[in-house]
Amino acid sequence: MRYAHITGWGKFIPERVMTNDDMAKLVNTSDGWIRKMTGIGQRHLVGPKDSCATMATAAALEALDVANISAAQIGMIIVATSTPDYAFPSTACLVQDALGADNAGAFDLSAACSGFIYALGMAADAIKAKSVDYALVIGSEVMSRVLDWTDRNTCVLFGDGAGAVVLQGSDQPGGVLSTVLRADGSGGDMLYVRSNYNSMPETVQAAEVVQSNGGPGSEAPSCNGYLKMNGREVFRFATRILEHATRDVMYRAGWQADEIDVFVPHQANIRIIDSAAHALGIPTEKVFSNIEHYGNTSAASIPIAICEAASLGRLRPNDKVVMVGFGAGLTWGAAAVEWGTPRILNRTNRTLNRVRLGAAGMRSRARRAWRRMEDRLAGADDTTHSPPKAPHPSHSHEKSNNGHSTDPVPTEKVPLKAEERDASKL
């Protein structure tokens, strides 16, 4: 029998910090209210050179180092994201190109904050079915670009970042033992972001939604691409579903609640986490939470938490770990994972991956140049406009004022246009 073990982990957190006090300069809120109601103390926001793909690549590179494997060994890359750089190509393809992961299939997965658990489940199943031996599972989000920075109900809750794990096939029992992936689309109107590429006039869209009585609710959704949320409803759903999904996945793994060593829930609100842990009878010391530092980073929240828990020595060999997420869709999911043995970092593979990264950039440019030359030789018109380029993670490390922002207003108050995103990557 084949098992899928987590053998590598990495994260990328943008340098720029926005504290609750910074937030209070922007909307009518306070550090006291945000901490009391959510547990959030600050969040990190991308700089002009960061993107979903640059963060995903940086996190993936760290995970490859920990797993001590080369990018060429990866057979599958899944990026869970709701804030990709492009509708297509997928962020996963940009990561594949940047890493030089020549033997990998790559695709994005959209399941909002549950995306990482969904991707983990898909990749683990591919490994168990022997389709691939190694998979990279990444959650990367630029939530700051879909937030309405005038809406205190939502803008205080989210942050940016990326986390990644390497899954490795093995005959040794352990790893991802069971997963639960579920959805209830009837709750789509509780939390949504409308697509920016839908450029029909607002009135036409509103008429269509009302006519079809579909889409997110009977009320006409906003067309501006900002996140909309019914906080109360989401809160109620989340507290119920965290407990339910955790019980479900424990049952499938044959575990009891008192056997759980580490509980890693989606970091949306400390009150939701505490309520679920209490209902499950899981003591506080077994719950991992870092929401105070990062806010809700959507699909990135669980892999960032895993990465931190592992770095802090909170995950020990053979620990029984439950990860559980929920989010827009509505979606939810959980994974029961028996933690593997720690990896020894091998400097050779680390160096090789850095060399490969440089070579991948050159190879990518050479391939583009070659395609352009072929086009010219064939007499074709050059109709390519600003093609997507693989990101370089080194672009993402921007320090400003010890990471603290002096300007409370985020650099991008509205989602970037495609050309701006291209420019920000170069």
Ligand X SMILES: CC(C)(COP(=O)(O)OP(=O)(O)OC[C@H]1O[C@@H](n2cnc3c(N)ncnc32)[C@H](O)[C@@H]1OP(=O)(O)O)[C@@H](O)C(=O)NCCC(=O)NCCS
For 19, list phi and psi in degrees, rounded to 5: -80, 170
Q: Which two structure tokens, joined as six digits, stand for 373?
A: 């030359």
Closer by beta carbon to ligand X, 34 or else 321: 34
C-alpha 68/C-alpha 237 separation (Å) is 40
Among residues 296, 307, 349, 353, the one annotated as catalytic is: 296
Closer by beta carbon to ligand X, 242 or else 336: 242
In angstroms, give the least distance from the CB of 96 to ligand X: 28
Q: Residue 12: in which H helix or E strand, if any?
A: strand 3-12
Among residues 266, 293, 392, 395, the one annotated as catalytic is: 266
Based on the residue annotation, tell me whether 397 is a catalytic residue of this protein. no
Closer by beta carbon to ligand X, 7 or else 144: 144
Buried b (16+ CB within 10 A) or exposed e, 13-24: bbbbbbbbebbb
Positions touching ligand X (CB under 6 A) are: 29, 33-34, 37-38, 113, 152-153, 156-157, 191, 229, 231-232, 234-235, 238, 268-269, 296, 327
In angstroms, give the least distance from the CB of 155 to ligand X: 8
- Report CA-CA distances (Å) from 102 to 93, 106, 306: 11, 10, 27
Question: Please, which residues have CB within 8 angstroms of residue 332's CB and are 6 or more apart in sequence?
Answer: 114, 180, 182, 183, 241, 242, 244, 245, 324, 325, 326
Based on the residue annotation, tell me whether 269 is a catalytic residue of this protein. no
Based on the residue annotation, tell me whether 155 is a catalytic residue of this protein. no
Closer by beta carbon to ligand X, 231 or else 361: 231
Buried b (16+ CB within 10 A) or exposed e, 72-105: ebbbbbbbbbbbbbbeebbbbbbbbbbbbbeebb
Closer by beta carbon to ligand X, 89 or else 325: 325
In angstroms, give the least distance from the CB of 326 to ligand X: 6
Question: Please, which residues have CB within 8 angstroms of residue 109's CB and are 6 or more apart in sequence?
Answer: 78, 79, 80, 81, 115, 118, 119, 122
In angstroms, give the least distance from the CB of 37 to ligand X: 4
At residue 225, the 3 state secondary structure works out as coil
| Pairing mode of beta strands 76-80, 105-109 | parallel
- Report CA-CA distances (Å) from 83 to 96, 111, 112: 18, 11, 9
Among residues 113, 155, 223, 307, the one annotated as catalytic is: 113
Question: Strands (DSSP E) along 184-240, which ranges?
Answer: 191-193, 227-229
In angstroms, give the least distance from the CB of 182 to ligand X: 15
Closer by beta carbon to ligand X, 33 or else 107: 33
In angstroms, give the least distance from the CB of 348 to ligand X: 40
Q: Which residues are catalytic?
A: 113, 266, 296
